[in-house]
Amino acid sequence: MTTPPEISKANITAILKYIPIFEAEGFNPGEMVTDRGMPWYSCSEDVLNFVQDLYDNNIIYSFDWPAWQEEAERLHNDPEALASADRETLRKLLTVHVRKDRVSEGHLAAVIRDGHVVGILRSLGELVGFRS
């Protein structure tokens, strides 16, 4: 397994700006589009920017994410475990959700919509002492 690149408090803080965006009343992460024969998911500009910021801040990294999906699902279903997860676990979760969206269009929007991504971001914020 590749050693993940180091991330700083600044890297984490840079992605926390998405908490109020994703929590805003009426926020729509995107929609399924069917105008090209095969349906595909069109993410909102905010979601596209979020993914880019995750990459730009070294949050997303290469590891065997398919083998880790069961743990990701457990954390998705257990808010207490999510709240106590460490930095690397939270990075893995974000990596799983971004990568899984490539093979299951709309996955990232679904975990944004259900509040899971905000939970991950809040946990990361707690780890670096960020208070909103």
pLDDT at 2: 63
Q: Whats the size of the chain, residue-wise?
A: 132
pLDDT above 70 (res 75): yes
- Band the pLDDT of 5: cuts 50, 70, 90: confident
pLDDT at 1: 53
Which is higher by pLDDT, 79 or 2?
79
- Band the pLDDT of 130: cuts 50, 70, 90: confident
Query: Residues 6 or more apart from 13 whose CB is under 8 A from it?
Result: 125, 128, 130
Specify the DSSP element, H or E, that contains 32: strand 30-33
What are the structural domain ranges in the chain?
Answer: 15-22+41-127
